Amino acid sequence: MEIKDPTSYADPAQGKIKHIDFRIGVDFSTRTLEIEARYQLQESVQGSLYLDSFKIDLEGARTDGRELDWEFDAKDDILGERLHLKGLEGASAFTLVFRTSPEARALQWLNPTQTAGGNYPFLYSQCQAIHARSVFPCQDTPSVRFTYSAEVEVPQGLTAVMAAEQVAVREGSGHGHARIFSFKMPQPIPSYLFALAAGNLVFWELGPRTGIYAEPKTIEAAAWEFAENETKIIEAEKLLGPYLWGRYDLLVLPPSFPYGGMENPRLTFLTPTAILGTRGHTSLITHELAHAWTGNLVTNATWQDFWLNEGWTTYAETRITEVLEGKEVTELHAAYNEKQLIANMERIGMDSPLTRLKLPADAKDADSLAPIVPYYKGCYFLQECEYAVGRERFDAFIQTYMSRFQFQSLTTEAFLDFLKTELPEVFEKVDVHTWIYEPGLPEEWHKPKSRLFDEVQQVLNDYQQDNKPTREQIQDWHRYQTLSFLRGLPKQIPVEDCRYFEDILELEKKNDVAFFSHFYATCVASGYKEILPRIEEFLKKIGRMLYILPVVRAMIETDWSREYVRSLFERVRDRHHQITVNAIEVLLKKAGL
**In the complex, least distance from residue 7 CB atom to ligand BES, rounded to whole angstroms:** 12
**In the complex, least distance from residue 27 CB atom to Zn ion, rounded to whole angstroms:** 32
Residues 103-132 as x/- pattern, contact with ligand BES by CB under 6 A = -------------------------xx---
d(CA 271, CA 84): 37
**In the complex, least distance from residue 579 CB atom to ligand BES, rounded to whole angstroms:** 8
Residue 240 interacts with, from Zn ion, ligand BES, none (CB under 5-8 Å by kind)? none
CB 279 within 8 A of CB 261: no
CB 296 within 8 A of CB 193: yes
Three-class secondary structure of residue 94 per DSSP: strand
Candidates 15, 155, 211, 261: give the one binding ligand BES (CB under 6 A): 261
For ligand BES, the binding residues in 483-542 under the rule CB under 6 A are none
CB 269 within 8 A of CB 253: yes
CB 124 within 8 A of CB 165: no
> Is 422 an active-site residue?
no
Please report whether residue 546 would count as binding ligand BES according to CB under 6 A: yes
**In the complex, least distance from residue 309 CB atom to Zn ion, rounded to whole angstroms:** 7
Q: Write down the H helix ranges in 447-558.
A: 451-464, 471-474, 479-488, 495-504, 507-510, 513-525, 532-541, 545-557
Residue whose CB is less far from ligand BES, 27 or 263: 263
Determine the interface stretch with ligand BES among 179-187, 280-288, 394-402, 458-466 (rule: CB under 6 A). Answer: 280-288
Residue whose CB is less far from Zn ion, 16 or 266: 266
DSSP structural state of residue 470: P
Residue whose CB is less far from ligand BES, 192 or 520: 192
Residue 259 interacts with, from Zn ion, ligand BES, none (CB under 5-8 Å by kind)? ligand BES
Please report whether residue 363 would count as binding ligand BES according to CB under 6 A: no
Three-class secondary structure of residue 37 per DSSP: strand
Q: What is Dmax (Cα atoms) for the chain?
A: 80
CB 206 within 8 A of CB 212: yes
Candidates 27, 52, 288, 331: give the one binding ligand BES (CB under 6 A): 288
For the chain, give me the number of helices (H) and strands (E)?
20, 22
Three-class secondary structure of residue 145 per DSSP: strand
**In the complex, least distance from residue 578 CB atom to ligand BES, rounded to whole angstroms:** 13
Residues 273-312 as x/- pattern, contact with Zn ion by CB under 5 A = -------------------------------------x--
CB 51 within 8 A of CB 42: no
Omega before 106 within 30 of 0, i.e. cis: no
Residues 301-320 as x/- pattern, contact with ligand BES by CB under 6 A = ---------x----------
Residue 58, beta-bridge partner list: 98
Residue 261 interacts with, from Zn ion, ligand BES, none (CB under 5-8 Å by kind)? ligand BES
CA 330 to chain CA centroid, Å, is 21
* Type of residue at 255: P
Total number of residues that touch Zn ion (CB under 5 A): 2
Residue 575 interacts with, from Zn ion, ligand BES, none (CB under 5-8 Å by kind)? none
Total number of residues that touch ligand BES (CB under 6 A): 14
CB 187 within 8 A of CB 86: no
For Zn ion, the binding residues in 308-337 under the rule CB under 5 A are 310, 313
d(CA 432, CA 160): 45
**In the complex, least distance from residue 323 CB atom to ligand BES, rounded to whole angstroms:** 17
Candidates 287, 479, 518, 575: give the one binding ligand BES (CB under 6 A): 287
**In the complex, least distance from residue 262 CB atom to Zn ion, rounded to whole angstroms:** 8
User: Which one from 50, 148, 375, 528 is the annotated catalytic residue?
Assistant: 375
**In the complex, least distance from residue 544 CB atom to ligand BES, rounded to whole angstroms:** 7
**In the complex, least distance from residue 119 CB atom to ligand BES, rounded to whole angstroms:** 28
Residue whose CB is less far from ligand BES, 137 or 260: 260
Residue 49, beta-bridge partner list: 85
d(CA 304, CA 177): 41
Residue whose CB is less far from ligand BES, 361 or 593: 361
> Is 288 an active-site residue?
yes
CB 82 within 8 A of CB 52: yes
**Surface-to-core class of residue 444, CB atoms within 10 Å of its CB (0-12 exposed, 13-18 middle, 19+ buried):** exposed
Sign of the alpha-carbon torsion through 191, 136, 572, 215? positive
Candidates 52, 263, 331, 384: give the one binding ligand BES (CB under 6 A): 263
Residues 221-260 as x/- pattern, contact with ligand BES by CB under 6 A = --------------------------------------xx
DSSP 258-327: SSSEE--TTEEEE-GGG--SSSTTTHHHHHHHHTTTBTTTEEESSGGGHHHHHHHHHHHHHHHHHHHH-H
If you compute the radius of gyration of the chain from its CA atoms, what whole number of angstroms results? Answer: 24
Residue 194 interacts with, from Zn ion, ligand BES, none (CB under 5-8 Å by kind)? none
Residue 260 interacts with, from Zn ion, ligand BES, none (CB under 5-8 Å by kind)? ligand BES
Please, what is the angle between helix 283-290 and helix 306-325, to 10°?
130
**In the complex, least distance from residue 87 CB atom to Zn ion, rounded to whole angstroms:** 41
Residue 128 interacts with, from Zn ion, ligand BES, none (CB under 5-8 Å by kind)? ligand BES
CA dihedral (72, 73, 79, 83) in degrees, to 10, reads -40
Residue whose CB is less far from ligand BES, 288 or 331: 288
User: Which one from 225, 235, 288, 386 is the annotated catalytic residue?
Assistant: 288
Please report whether residue 376 would count as binding ligand BES according to CB under 6 A: no
The site for Zn ion (CB under 5 A) is made up of: 310, 313
Which residues participate in catalysis according to the annotation?
288, 375
Note the residues at the interface with ligand BES (CB under 6 A): 128-129, 259-263, 284, 287-288, 291, 310, 375, 546
